[in-house]
Structure 1
Amino acid sequence: MDLWQRRTYFLNLLAEHLLLSLGSLTAVTVVGISLGIFVFYSAKSRKVILPLINFLYTIPSIAMFGLLIPLVGIGLKNALIVLIIYGLLPIVRSTYSGLKEVPLQLVEAAEGLGSTQIQVFKNIYFPLALPSILSGLRITVVMIVALTGLAALIGAGGLGQAIFRGLNTMNTGLIVTGSLGISLFAILGDQWIGQFEKNESLLRVISKNANRTQKNRIIFSSLFVLICTFAAIFYQNPFSSNNSKTITVASKPTSEQFILGEIISQTIENNTDIKVIRKFGIGGGTTNIHPAMLSGDLDIYVEYSGTAWLNVLKKKLPENNLIDFSNLNETYQNQFQLKWLGLLGFNNTYGLAISKKNLDISNFSELADKSSDFTFGAEFDFFERSDAFPGLINIYPFNFKKLEEMDINLRYQAFEQGKIDAVDVFTTDAQIKHLDLKVLKDDKNYFPNYEAGIIIRNEIAKKYPEVEKLLSALNGKISTEKMQQLNYEVEVEKKSPAEVAQIFLKNLNN
């Protein structure tokens, strides 16, 4: 894939990353310095606020994003809250420490000369604490820029989206570009704050003792940031974009979901005047997307019948493991006001795969008998879901030599590198073909069907009936073999999901 051809995509991510980082940094600076001053003057609040900030800082950032979803949903609001929380500790600490280290004799001398408390703070405390505050601010800038990369997991955009999309589609170019972009932002942000810190230039500007070089250093660096910010705002919200008709399309963090998300988005864009907002690669999949659909943060996404039945509705499978789609759709509409537009035509169910060198193993039972010779690897979700490993070992007596948990998109690399020799698969995975894997037969029919279908909010279906008609026309048009081929084009041939979707739709309409 030519990265230059996707320059618009990267410019959009750059703008999102800059605005999100700068917005949270501004809030952290104001709130953090204010809190640092407050806890310095209030011993009682210090005993509560500082331990609380320390405690929040110990919570893994990725977990914090997830914990806030039930409260504020996904997207910008969630990301801002998390970034502000994590940015507070260094700036509050540095402000408090800087004020605390001010020599007491200077304060007493100023008070002895009749200075008020405000004057003492303005002329003694703040100037002497400023180097410590700026030092904390430099740490905060780098931290926020880096953490903003994780915001892509909850649909907040930014350069992290390129990294996660690269991981999900096995595209090294996207990973490198996203990583370099974040690194560049962090370095520039650190250098920007450093201009204020050098030779206490900010203090000199405030006290009007700065020379022309010091003034210019701060003015030009700040002007550059201001210009970049306005450019990002304009790029994100051009004056010509006054279209109130919008639909937000979401996807889970897999190649298949990126492709299907693009097929849905391009179908809408090519045939209507509705603007599509893409929220692709949302971490946690159904766990985070379904609540966001209910809250109205998202409007459309592709779900799988087995996941919906077992993990959303939490129902037991019928004896034949065949899910009644009419019942599923009716329950979704009554319980969630969400509508299934039909089934796309492919079944992406779970499977287990090994190397074709193991000629004497052809099904799950035979693998179970020899499982002590195998190291089994799967994504975190597989070991957690009731319809996956926990239930599987109740049917088949697996006793693997070792279990390896990893990101869903890294398990095939682990297999290729020999770190695991048995792996869970989805039947449409491109890597089955690429690695020439042997997919074993589920001889006791444990795994149900996972038929893909488009889900839309009832409100959106009623508001845009033309969209329901367009997307319903996709029903039955993607076979399991076709979906595997589309995934192969993205993951192995390194085509972009947008390009693959575009070609698919072109051939579909011809």
Structure 2
Amino acid sequence: MTTSHLPRRLRRASSCLAVVAAATVALTGCGLQPATAFVPAVAPGSIRAIEGLPDDAAITVTAKNFTEQLILGKIAVLAAQAAGFEVTDMTNVPGSVAVRQLMLDGTADMTYEYTGTAWLTYLAEAEGIPDQQEQYEAVRDADADNGLTWLEPAPLNNTYAMAVRAEAVPELGDITSLSQIADLPVDQRTFCVEAEFNSRADGFAPMLAAYGLELGAADGVPTSNVSILDTGTVYTATDRGSCNFGEVFTTDGRIDSLDLDVLEDDRGFFPAYNAAPVLSTATLEEYPQLAEVYDEISPALTDTEMRRLNLAVDVEGQEPADVAFDWMVEQGFVTRP
């Protein structure tokens, strides 16, 4: 009998073995160690065990292997446990494509995904949609044919942005938005960006053009005003004043730890990358109460909160599972047993 003829739960178990084996090889090849699947035990808070849930109700949660995704993945695991599910924790999977495949083939039931990632990478659309609600609705409708259901997105929008060190804001005319950069003298239009952003079709040069500035022009942003740096170095270089404006991701904890101010994208150039709970449609049809569980959590996941949680892991060295648990308790979603 082929795996395609096995019951859904047995098919999932067979696929899990293959994916875990592949993930282990990938992790070992990258010199990384697999993260523990441990999460603290939870007691009910506002999320309570679903009435009438079968004793064998089970779901599999997956997430990618970077800090924000690990935290979101652990939040998803804890929420499902509080709701009464037996949860298989498949967080810390290397790469977006691997997580996407787990969801498409039914190996995993739930993940937090970004609207812009799905639209541009998975669905291969040419351009992102800056309006957050429009981008969500476009992804939701397109992915329905793939057997995936997108619940309402969280406010957190992990997109590109430009930031300035807080102490330089008054020196630059109390700057708060990207459009104000064009009002500065040319010698103050200095930037630190990473190589990928510098070369992207939706990256640095198009961003400048959207705000009336030409990269390489003497009266715009001369190339001598631009430093191409590694991602992590961009943050520290901006903080040290090596440039006035640094490319950042809006939910990165280093924004707060280095006291950087994010400039408003007041012309709506950057695509939306809101995180949203994505569930297998088949799983959601079997357990429709899951929508209520994750819809309760999403409004509390803002850029500010996500930066705080990411900072706790990346700067303070806490474990993603502990950070997720403490936050769930703070919000009242779960309690300590």
TM-score bracket, shorter-length normalisation: 0.5 to 0.7
Aligned pair partner of 1:355 in 150, 156, 165: 165
Aligned to 2:9: none
The superposition leaves residues 416-463 of structure 1 with CA deviations (integer Å, 9 ceiling, x where unpaired) of: 577766422222222111111132232432113332211112233234
In the aligned structure 1, how far is the partner of 2:64 from the partner of 2:202? 18
Aligned to 1:293: 103
**Aligned partners of 2:251 and 2:304 also within 8 Å:** yes
**2:28 aligned partner, one-letter code:** T
Q: State yes or no: 1:374 paired with 2:197.
A: no
The superposition leaves residues 121-180 of structure 1 with CA deviations (integer Å, 9 ceiling, x where unpaired) of: xxxxxxxxxxxxxxxxxxxxxxxxxx825275xxxxxx2659xxxxxxxxxxxxxxxxxx
**Residues 1:356 and 1:149: Cα distance change in structure 2 (over 3 Å):** same
Higher share in strand: 2
Identity over aligned pairs, percent: 25
Q: State yes or no: 1:76 paired with 2:21.
A: yes
In the aligned structure 2, how far is the partner of 1:428 from the partner of 1:446? 17
Structure 1 or 2, whichever has the larger Rg, is 1
**Aligned partners of 1:350 and 1:424 also within 8 Å:** yes
Question: RCO higher in 1 or 2 (8 Å CA, sep ≥ 6)?
Answer: 2
In the aligned structure 2, how far is the partner of 1:350 from the partner of 1:437? 14
Aligned pair partner of 1:479 in 285, 288, 302: 302
Q: State yes or no: 1:436 paired with 2:259.
A: yes
In the aligned structure 2, how far is the partner of 1:378 from the partner of 1:450? 19
TM-score in terms of structure 1 length? 0.47
Aligned to 1:264: 76
**Residues 1:327 and 1:247: Cα distance change in structure 2 (over 3 Å):** same
**Residues 1:249 and 1:416: Cα distance change in structure 2 (over 3 Å):** farther
**Residues 1:498 and 1:321: Cα distance change in structure 2 (over 3 Å):** closer
Aligned to 1:252: 64
**1:329 aligned partner, one-letter code:** R
**Aligned partners of 1:321 and 1:449 also within 8 Å:** yes
Q: State yes or no: 1:345 paired with 2:155.
A: yes
Aligned pair partner of 1:310 in 120, 131, 137: 120
The superposition leaves residues 482-502 of structure 1 with CA deviations (integer Å, 9 ceiling, x where unpaired) of: 222222333333322211211
Unpaired stretches in structure 1, ≥5 consecutive residues:
1-71, 83-146, 153-158, 163-242
**2:207 aligned partner, one-letter code:** L
In the aligned structure 2, how far is the partner of 1:446 from the partner of 1:397? 15
Aligned to 1:333: 144
Aligned to 2:203: 388
**1:328 aligned partner, one-letter code:** V
CA RMSD of aligned residues (A): 3.7
In the aligned structure 2, how far is the partner of 1:507 from the partner of 1:482? 12
**Aligned partners of 1:349 and 1:448 also within 8 Å:** yes
**1:439 aligned partner, one-letter code:** V
Aligned to 2:228: 404
**Residues 1:296 and 1:385: Cα distance change in structure 2 (over 3 Å):** farther
**1:502 aligned partner, one-letter code:** F
Higher share in helix: 1
SS at match of 1:260: helix
**Aligned partners of 2:150 and 2:276 also within 8 Å:** yes
SS at match of 1:301: strand
SS at match of 2:30: helix
Aligned to 2:52: none
**Aligned partners of 1:73 and 1:291 also within 8 Å:** no
Unpaired stretches in structure 2, ≥5 consecutive residues:
1-16, 37-54, 217-222
